[in-house]
Amino acid sequence: MAQEVQNGAENDGPNVVSFSAFKPQLFVEAPKAADAVQFYKTAFGAEEVGRTMHPKRKAEQDQPLILSADLKIGSSIFTVSDFSDESATPVTGFVFCLVTEDIDAAFSKALSAGAVAKGEVTEGEVAGTVAKVEDPYGFVWMISPPTKKADDAEV
């Protein structure tokens, strides 16, 4: 699973971290994500290709919150999420989600390149292990595994 392909010199660390893709993730003030999804459909013809609700909060909320709704515009995908204080989301309204098999290697490679950790590597309820870093230009990157389920995380 975690490939140990060496490249570059003898050992310059985990340089072969590879990402299959990234997705921009937009956080909107809860519970407006559902409205936002509708807006992006109407305004830009976005197609919803998956939605995951906040599993735990569902019972406690009048209106269930959206953990992630994946929207496709042309060949590109982005995610819309409800931002609520309780969730471990960053303060900015926008993060880049990077998808990789090897979270730890990607995390440490980003740090050694000059990024700064945003909190600890966390084990999310739905998304699995997630690491967050802020790059030197103020943008936040969330490193997460590819096995995020899109539809049935509401169990």
Residue 21 interacting with a second copy (CB under 8 A): yes
Helix locations, the chain, DSSP H: 33-44, 103-113
Q: How many CB atoms lie within 10 A of CB 108?
A: 16
Decide: is 121 part of the binding site for a second copy (CB under 8 A).
no
Nearest residue (CB) to a second copy, 26 versus 88: 26
Tokens matching residue 152: 């049935």
Q: Which residue has the tokens 């969330």?
A: 142
Shortest CB 155 distance to a second copy, Å: 29
CA distance to 42, 122, 132, 151, per residue, from 48 (Å): 12, 27, 25, 11
Q: Is 18 in the site for a second copy (CB under 8 A)?
A: yes
Cα distances (Å, whole numbers) of residue 153 to 57, 61, 68, 102: 12, 17, 11, 22
Q: In the beta sheet, which residues pair with residue 143? A: 98, 131
Among residues 101 and 154, whose Cβ is nearest to a second copy? Answer: 101
Residue 45 interacting with a second copy (CB under 8 A) = yes
Binding mask 69-98 for a second copy (x = CB under 8 A): ----xxxx-x--------------xx-x-x
Q: Which residues bind a second copy (CB under 8 A)?
A: 17-24, 26, 28-29, 32, 35-36, 39-40, 42-45, 73-76, 78, 93-94, 96, 98-99, 106, 109-110, 113-115, 135-139, 141
